[in-house]
């Protein structure tokens, strides 16, 4: 059974209090069973491809094809591959990028927006810890 609206708001406020500094980043996912995986990893898994063997080659092909067609839809030319990957991510192409946000509310929205009755998840990472450990 899911949270009722008042319980959800209370939980969000508790999390906001504990993560009130700007050093936290968040990611909302509509299933708590999902591990952190990029859309490229999920695409490879759905086609029974090993990301370690096929992922970079597949990304290279997708990047080249996206770049070849990008000028049909935008007059702007991305400066580098990271920017191009961000555009690809925005338009739904599989990439190795994983979306994060500084806003807890945005993460909660993406967690519950299309969530079935199963529990959803919001990941929170302390950026300082990530820089230290990463």
Tens digit of each residue's pLDDT (9 = 90 or more) over 70-119: 999 889 888 899 999 999 999 999 999 999 999 888 998 888 887 677 78
Neighbours of 26 (CB within 10 A): 21
Count Cα atoms within 13 angstroms, Cβ side, for 36.
12
Domain boundaries, the chain: 21-36+98-134, 38-97
Quote the tokens at residue 112.
Answer: 């519950």
Widest Cα–Cα separation across the chain: 49
Per-residue confidence band for 1, with pLDDT thresholds at 50, 70 and 90: very low
Q: Over the chain, what is the mean pLDDT?
A: 85
Query: What pTM was estimated for this model as a whole?
Result: 0.73
């Amino acid at each position: 059974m899911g949270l009722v609206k008042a319980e959800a708001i209370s939980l969000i406020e508790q999390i906001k209090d504990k993560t009130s500094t700007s050093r936290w980043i968040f990611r909302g996912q509509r299933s708590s069973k999902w591990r952190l995986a990029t859309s490229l990893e999920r695409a490879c898994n759905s086609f029974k491809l090993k990301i370690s063997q096929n992922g970079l080659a597949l990304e290279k092909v997708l990047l080249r094809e996206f770049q070849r067609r990008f000028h049909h839809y935008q007059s702007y030319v991305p400066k580098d591959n990271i920017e191009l990957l961000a555009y690809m991510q925005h338009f739904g192409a599989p990439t190795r990028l994983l979306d994060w946000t500084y806003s807890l509310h945005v993460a909660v929205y993406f967690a519950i927006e299309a969530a079935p009755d199963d529990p959803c998840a919001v990941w929170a990472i302390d950026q300082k810890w990530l820089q230290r450990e990463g």
